Amino acid sequence: MESTQLTIQLAYVAAAALFIYGLKLLGSADSARKGNLLSSVGMLLAIVAALLDQGIVEYQWILLGFVVGGAIGAAAARLVQMTAMPEMVALFNGFGGMASLLVGAAALSGSSNTFTLVTIVLSILIGGLTFTGSLVAWGKLSETLGSGAVMFRGQQIVNSLIVLAILFSAVMFCLQPENSIWLYAVIALSLLFGVMAVIPIGGADMPVVISLLNSYSGLAACAAGFAVNNNILIVAGSLVGASGIILTQIMCKAMNRSLSNVLFSGFGSVSSEETVIEGEIKPISVEDAYYILEAATNVAIIPGYGMAVAQAQHVVKELTQLLEKKGAEVNFGIHPVAGRMPGHMNVLLAEADVPYDQLLEMDDINPRMETVDVAIVIGANDVVNPAAREVESSPIYGMPVINVDQARTVFVLKRSMASGFAGIENPLFYKENTRMLFGDAKESISGLIRELSN
């Protein structure tokens, strides 16, 4: 018996070490796959150890769960498009929250001391709001619910009343755990609060919301770990919670906004005042763009969500190789909130085997921008909008952006003149050094490749 317990505890330690080392490897695109694999092995080890620790003997149900879950995971990995990756991450966060809610509720069958009851309430509360909040985030990202912020009069009062009701129900549950009405009240109110907390946040802020909800799912798992007295669940939840909070802070800093401003400002609930933009749109053909690009010795590519929609990352890599063969230096400028989830552009370019040392962060590429001959903006809008520097009335004024307008020539690849996800006009399109290459980004880049190959 003692040897079994020692083996279980050693397995927990090994799993925790794999989690930490795997998380470290996820910090680099070159080692991310290995880090993901090691973390997965750690989770498998943790689950097996937990089952042995709990003395569960009905393994047929556990094996069935492995098979069903593995099949769903394999199908998602193969079938979900890269453009839908943000939505899938949002759903994963929500499922993690629901799992913590169910674990917390199941823990009621065990000890009912005050500490355990408090951790049960926390796992249910955080798990519930994470679940419904993530579903709303999924709806906004997929534009099933509309990406705009939803605001109404008295909204803050309603939310405050919900919070007070949650606190009252939670206290009553801890005092009267035998009365299930208070448990159901906490569950229902937490699910409602998740919806109310996310609907006033606009789609442009969803990258921050995703990372925050990821942190919430970790905190819910940590609370569930305390509820069932499982150390590895506490460790894993703490790692996810801490990393999510750190990423959230990085995202907020990248937008020059506080977390409270993201959560409560209602950004995107109303359209910004119309700004008179001087200048005219100057379209360019693929053939004319080729002549300018052929003479360039320094090229910067700025990817955005439009590149993901067009699935153009592979042709972008091919274009990069052709330009380099002609002696041009090519780099990619990656804004922290480009795309619709943290690291979205890095994942897409890594899939196309773009060398990681060519991916430059915003602070690294901006000082070089004045020496860039051609900056190619592929489907990005808000992260290259000079209004963030020039227009004080703009909702994004003060937000750090990639200064592509300082390049000698700018090619903007867009399907149309529609504004970006934030719904803000972009003066970049009217600059003297900007040329608009309209059409599908993949087709436009393929056309440039054909011209450069001749």
Q: Do 260 and 359 sit in the same domain of this protein?
A: no
- Tell which wins on pLDDT, 405 or 55: 405
Closest CA to 306 of 368, 378, 217, 355: 378
How many other β-carbons are positioned within 10 Å of the β-carbon of residue 32? 18
pLDDT of residue 276: 55
Q: Do 234 and 105 sit in the same domain of this protein?
A: yes
What average pLDDT is seen over the chain?
Answer: 85
Torsion of CA 199, 209, 346, 221, to 10 degrees: -130
One-character DSSP codes across 410-440: EEEEESSS---TT----GGGGSTTEEEEES-
Tokens 């922290």 correspond to 336
pLDDT of residue 172: 93
| 60 part of a folded domain | no
Q: Which of 31-45, 120-134, 237-251, 343-357 has the lowest mean pLDDT?
A: 343-357
pLDDT of residue 266: 55
Residue 64 in tokens: 């069935």
* DSSP helix/strand/coil, 299: strand
- Tell which wins on pLDDT, 311 or 376: 376
Q: What does the pLDDT look like over 157-175, one tens digit per residue? A: 999 999 999 999 999 998 8
Q: Do 107 and 232 sit in the same domain of this protein?
A: yes
Span 204-219, mean pLDDT?
86
CA-based R_g, the chain, Å:
25
Q: Do 253 and 312 sit in the same domain of this protein?
A: no
Q: Are 86 and 340 in contact (CB under 8 A)?
A: yes
Q: Do 374 and 315 sit in the same domain of this protein?
A: yes
Span 35-50, mean pLDDT?
89
Q: Do 97 and 238 sit in the same domain of this protein?
A: yes
Residue 90 in tokens: 């949002």
Q: What does the pLDDT look like over 266-315, one tens digit per residue? A: 554 444 444 556 668 889 999 999 999 988 999 999 998 888 888 888 99
> Model pTM?
0.77
- pLDDT band, very low/low/confident/very high, at 371 (cuts 50, 70, 90): very high
Distance CA 433, CA 319 (A): 22
Q: Do 224 and 86 sit in the same domain of this protein?
A: yes
pLDDT of residue 80: 81
Span 30-55, mean pLDDT?
85
Distance CA 446, CA 429 (A): 22
pLDDT of residue 270: 44
Structural domains of the chain, count = 2
Beta strands in 53-199 (DSSP E): none
Q: What does the pLDDT look like over 104-151, one tens digit per residue? A: 888 887 556 888 899 999 999 999 999 999 999 888 887 788 777 788
| 147 part of a folded domain | yes
Q: Do 231 and 145 sit in the same domain of this protein?
A: yes
Q: Give me the CATH number covering residue 385.
A: 3.40.50.1220
Distance CA 401, CA 232 (A): 40
| 428 part of a folded domain | yes
Phi-psi region of 245 (alpha: psi -120 to 50; beta: other; left: phi over 0): alpha
The parent domain of residue 307 ranges over 286-453
Span 414-441, mean pLDDT?
80
Beta-bridge mates of residue 303: 378
Span 186-193, mean pLDDT?
95
| 438 part of a folded domain | yes
Residue 96 scores a pLDDT above 80: yes
User: Which residues are known to be catalytic?
Assistant: 382
Q: Are 208 and 399 in contact (CB under 8 A)?
A: no
Q: Are 128 and 135 in contact (CB under 8 A)?
A: no
Longest Cα–Cα distance of the chain, Å, equals 80
Domain boundary residue, one of 264, 297, 325: 264
- pLDDT band, very low/low/confident/very high, at 27 (cuts 50, 70, 90): confident
- pLDDT band, very low/low/confident/very high, at 449 (cuts 50, 70, 90): very high
Span 211-225, mean pLDDT?
91
Tokens 């994963």 correspond to 92
Span 32-60, mean pLDDT?
82
Q: Are 371 and 403 in contact (CB under 8 A)?
A: no
pLDDT of residue 369: 93
Q: Give how far Cα 233 sits from Cα of 120, 130, 239, 247, Å.
A: 14, 17, 10, 21
Q: Do 296 and 194 sit in the same domain of this protein?
A: no
Q: How many alpha carbons lie under 13 Å from residue 105 in its C-beta half-sphere?
A: 20
Q: Is the dihedral of CA 188, 191, 197, 200 positive or negative?
A: negative
Distance CA 377, CA 379 (A): 6
| 47 part of a folded domain | no
Residue 422 scores a pLDDT above 60: no
Residue 227 scores a pLDDT above 50: yes
Q: Are 9 and 50 in contact (CB under 8 A)?
A: no
pLDDT of residue 265: 61
Residue 397 scores a pLDDT above 50: yes
Closest CA to 107 of 92, 127, 91: 127
pLDDT of residue 298: 94
| 1 part of a folded domain | no
According to the 3-state scheme, what is the secondary structure of 82-102? Answer: HHHHHHHHHHHHHHHHHHHHH
Q: Are 215 and 204 in contact (CB under 8 A)?
A: no
- Residue 248 — φ and ψ, nearest 5°? -60, -45
pLDDT of residue 413: 92
pLDDT of residue 49: 85
Q: Do 295 and 408 sit in the same domain of this protein?
A: yes
Q: Do 248 and 343 sit in the same domain of this protein?
A: no
pLDDT of residue 269: 47
Q: Of all helices (H) and strands (E), which one includes residue 220?
A: helix 206-228
Residue 230 in tokens: 């499982």
Q: Do 256 and 359 sit in the same domain of this protein?
A: no
Residue 375 scores a pLDDT above 90: yes
